[in-house]
Structure 1
């Protein structure tokens, strides 16, 4: 028996890495305006990395705020078109991550990120490092962005229900789980 929703699994088929340590002052007017409005502060772009899944190839670029040496934000664009797809802000002071799917205007705010199992293992959500690791790993990859399919998580109980689960991913990193009790 299969439980699913409208989202489809993304298996990374061919991950390529392209790092650029050269900082850029601009990506596009729309992206620059978005980042400027989000931070309401000075910023510049840092390193970039490319990765590929079965939907497309993406460029992930760091955003450095107020001349900080460490990335605070990450801009994701489609490599072939330059289309702005996703934005992630990692607030390491208040331990809050904001992930925005620009394409569907969906914002998720994750609090207490310092309690996340992967927070310290990933150098406090260094997404360039996470993508480098994912690009170099062999075998099945995690989802790049969005919800996984619903999967059965328990057998049918005596009331005729079972627990199903799905995960939300942000730049290959598990973000949150969602559970649902459904009839068998």
Structure 2
């Protein structure tokens, strides 16, 4: 992969392990010549990932809707800054500029991005890898909930298996690089029409 969208919080939270891992993720992306595509802020976990990338001479693309430019305090050190009209356009541009998606700790906005991009994959709208970096067990409950969805018949196991999970950056990048896309749903190919 040459570019990854990282979905994460505009707050730092209160876990130093998460804060340090976010910075380290940026550094590892830079060292591996993987462009960081993210929400353009210089604050929160977002800012830590970007700073790690910038400090290690990596390429950064920030995408932010106009109304958030002052609220999330745009990082002025980015390789490229794209300003969109709204949140939906932001997600579409991040999708277009990325070869994969990584979810690290965040709040409602991060969950929104994760579930939307995962749903797009389930529907066959993309075949890009989606990875969860489960830093310090942050996403244990989410993973447990997803397993419950499978158990109760609301989610197919193969769709859950399409999301790769690891608690290390290198491990997750390896899984994302080795990702095999789901087959296109029958109802999206010519035989299913």
Instruction: Using structure 2 for the length normalisation, give the TM-score.
Output: 0.26
More strand by share: 1
Instruction: Using structure 1 for the length normalisation, give the TM-score.
Output: 0.27
Larger radius of gyration: 1
More helix by share: 2
